[in-house]
């Protein structure tokens, strides 16, 4: 891996997220370029490769990873395909940025974790990009500074204007609330120990069979209480708020700002329509940080342990959601390797 040269990246998966990452690596990020794209859809991979100088298309991750000009791998394929690609990359000792989820369940996450441990050094960063959002970063620094005492509660709001028709109750946990699981663990620097899911009477705009919104409660090791409003069809925009209640102060992030327009009897401004726009800077910063660290020969950011813990909390969350009761989270003891 070149310490000063340009990092050659294979992007695995060329759907919405993969294509966006390829564009980011090619146009935004310093020190990297896309040398390979991989998709079982050969045509789609080919079209993307053609748009970038010096990039080849593959249909198999293993073939791309074997290429001379591939120094690192960004995995943005569907979740069920992650495990095989991750194990292959570990086999080749290649640095990886893996879009969340690490894998679809705790058992498979554990297999990846074991493989990385056997390898003996970290190679995988999980794509929990909120840790790279400017406001979350300031919140994390403030909480860890100790200035406000211990955090007692976190209140999260996570609202989408609408969701695709194939979105399920389980995906509300696994694909949406999983972000709050990760930032909770990161902000509080401790594990989530139990999950409860409450369901108010659903919005009449929620699809048949979906309970929307839902209200999720986490308990943590130190006894902090965390609530998450997850709302898939709020109708008006994409909104992510968080408020930390500490012993000596409270902090809120996510309030919209930007130009303040006074017109037509109202003051205010625009709300971002989706997560790609809301977290555009976070995505950029995440990938740049990964490229920078990789070129220095380091691995930073959310680890396989973080991916495994999120998968375990998701499993508890889905059970709590289905069974209408508080469910405890089961985690293996944290290996010293991930201390």
Residues 75 to 114: which contact its own copies by CB under 8 A? none
Smallest separation (angstroms) from its own copies to the CB of 273: 7
Contacts of its own copies in 291-320 (CB under 8 A) = 292
CB nearer to its own copies: give 48 or 81: 48
> Site size for its own copies, by CB under 8 A?
75
CB nearer to its own copies: give 144 or 150: 150
CB nearer to its own copies: give 31 or 46: 31
Smallest separation (angstroms) from its own copies to the CB of 190: 11
- Spatial CA neighbour of 84 closest among 67, 103, 64: 103
**Rounded Cα gap, residues 33 and 295, in angstroms:** 12
**Rounded Cα gap, residues 329 and 339, in angstroms:** 19
Task: Return the structure tokens found at 29.
Answer: 């990020």
Smallest separation (angstroms) from its own copies to the CB of 15: 22
Report CA dihedral (268, 269, 272, 278) to the nearest 10 degrees: -90
Smallest separation (angstroms) from its own copies to the CB of 29: 5
Task: Return the structure tokens found at 217.
Answer: 């409660």
Could you give the angle at which helices 304-323 and 106-119 cross, rounded to 10 degrees? 170
Binding mask 154-173 for its own copies (x = CB under 8 A): -x---x--------------
- The reply on whether position 261 binds its own copies by CB under 8 A is yes
Residue 310's CB is within 10 A of a number of other CB atoms, namely 27
Report the alpha-carbon angle 158-97-44, nearest 5. Answer: 90
Task: Return the structure tokens found at 328.
Answer: 């405890």
The alpha carbon of 273 is separated from its chain's Cα centroid by a whole number of angstroms, namely 19
Are the beta carbons of 310 and 101 closer than 8 angstroms? Answer: yes
Smallest separation (angstroms) from its own copies to the CB of 112: 30
Q: Which stretch binds its own copies (CB under 8 A): 35-43, 64-72, 150-158, 314-322?
A: 150-158
Smallest separation (angstroms) from its own copies to the CB of 58: 21
Among 248, 333, 336, 339, indicate the residue that binds its own copies (CB under 8 A).
Answer: 248
Among 15, 273, 324, 335, indicate the residue that binds its own copies (CB under 8 A).
Answer: 273
């Amino acid at each position: 891996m070149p310490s000063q040269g340009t990092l050659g990246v294979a992007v695995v998966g060329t759907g919405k997220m993969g294509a966006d990452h390829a564009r980011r690596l090619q146009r935004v990020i310093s020190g990297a370029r896309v040398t390979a794209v991989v998709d079982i859809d050969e045509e789609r991979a080919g079209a993307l490769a053609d748009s970038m100088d010096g990039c080849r298309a593959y249909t198999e991750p293993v073939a791309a990873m074997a290429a001379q000009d591939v120094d690192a791998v960004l995995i943005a394929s569907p979740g069920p395909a992650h495990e095989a690609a991750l194990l292959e990359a570990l086999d080749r000792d290649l640095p990886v940025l893996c879009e969340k989820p690490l894998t679809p369940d705790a058992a498979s996450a554990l297999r990846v974790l074991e493989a990385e441990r056997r390898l003996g050094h970290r190679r995988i960063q999980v794509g929990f990009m909120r840790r790279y959002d400017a406001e979350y970063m300031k919140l994390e620094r403030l909480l860890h500074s100790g200035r406000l005492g211990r955090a007692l509660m976190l209140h999260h709001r996570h609202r989408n204007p609408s969701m695709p028709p194939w979105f399920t109750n389980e995906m509300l946990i696994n694909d949406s609330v999983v972000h709050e699981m990760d930032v909770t663990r990161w902000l509080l620097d401790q594990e989530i120990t139990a999950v409860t899911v409450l369901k108010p009477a659903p919005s009449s705009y929620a699809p048949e069979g979906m309970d929307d919104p839902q209200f999720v409660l986490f308990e943590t090791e130190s006894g902090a209480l965390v609530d998450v409003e997850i709302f898939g069809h709020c109708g008006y925009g994409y909104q992510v708020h968080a408020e930390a209640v500490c012993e000596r102060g409270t902090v809120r992030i996510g309030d919209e700002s930007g130009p303040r327009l006074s017109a037509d009897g109202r003051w205010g401004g625009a709300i971002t329509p989706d997560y790609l726009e809301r977290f555009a800077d976070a995505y950029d910063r995440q990938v740049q940080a990964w490229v920078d660290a990789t070129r220095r020969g380091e691995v930073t950011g959310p680890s396989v342990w973080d991916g495994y813990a999120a998968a375990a909390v998701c499993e508890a969350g889905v059970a709590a959601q289905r069974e209408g009761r508080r469910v405890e989270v089961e985690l293996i003891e944290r290996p010293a390797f991930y201390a």
